[in-house]
Structure 1
């Protein structure tokens, strides 16, 4: 399963904190798949086929700090283990336009990742795509920064990094991670 961390779509879709969902919508489009709202999972879901494997794509439609609850619910329903999930999220520690694949345990202060780790209740390494959104100069402005829309130039850089991440994902999925 590939999950794009997010806050509720209607209010927060265009914010930096929702770049994980931007990635999922771009990936779905790349594979000509369409996400549909699944109320029992409190989010949007679809699947793609890679090498005869059904890969679920999921975007939670609840607040970031409780994303882990619904991700766990979807994973349990489809019998998917945490180490079989690729989590895509925004990252303050990466420059805008950069993306990095990581396989590790830990949340680095990200509330969505904290929620996932707490709900799966295990210290297990899992795959993550970190998509850079940069960091505000004043650390007291982090909350308002992640919940605001990027300026046009930043948005273009983020879209480019998402396209690079999609190419890397395609390679990763073809190597049967």
Structure 2
């Protein structure tokens, strides 16, 4: 079984913001594989289904970004999956819009959602798919930036990046993370 967690903030005011690209990827996976992500459990919206021959749980934490770890530790303890079968999808300001960076493990860096997850899990040894959202302009507040919507001129790069991110998750599950990294990183 795989658990795919897309990070974001709940609420209409956060739809289509930079910080919610993880939710966007979960939405694409849900549509692609006809998985309804509407059940409320573990402080999250969840949906169960299949990708290829693998059972998957799609997760959109409803705790707000900074407390994402509360959802994930609850799910981890309930389902008792191996950490290598938990895939976290989230935004990265150090990558241009739509670029991906897939890793088998790593620190939470400056991302508060990832910091919460690594703290609650007590580990950094789980796969992650980072989706580029670009950097704030000089002098722009980081929180305001990640909670802002994408500019019109970023739409095509964003759409391509979200598509690649969903395919990257699919490849991790159907094949393995190394193949996904070779195909989609950069």
CA deviation profile, 1:8-31 (whole Å, cap 9, x unmatched): 233312211010000000111111
> How far apart, in 2, do the equivalents of 1:28 and 1:85 lie?
17
Q: 1:131-150, aligned counterparts within 5 Å? A: 131-138=131-138, 140-150=140-150
Residue of structure 1 equivalent to 2:32: 30
> How far apart, in 1, do the equivalents of 2:150 and 2:140 lie?
18
CA deviation profile, 1:54-98 (whole Å, cap 9, x unmatched): 111100112111010011111211112333211000000000121
3-state SS, counterpart of residue 16 of structure 2: coil
1:2 aligns with 2:19: no
Unmatched runs of 5 consecutive residues or more in structure 2: 178-186
- Decide which moves more: 127-136 or 73-82: 73-82
> How far apart, in 2, do the equivalents of 1:144 and 1:44 lie?
25
Residue of structure 2 equivalent to 1:109: 110
Unmatched runs of 5 consecutive residues or more in structure 1: none
CA deviation profile, 1:142-165 (whole Å, cap 9, x unmatched): 110001111122233212111112
Residue of structure 1 equivalent to 2:83: 82
The alignment's C-alpha RMSD in Å is: 1.6
Residue of structure 2 equivalent to 1:174: 174
> How far apart, in 2, do the equivalents of 1:62 and 1:146 lie?
17
TM-score relative to the length of structure 2: 0.87
TM-score relative to the length of structure 1: 0.91
Count of paired positions: 175
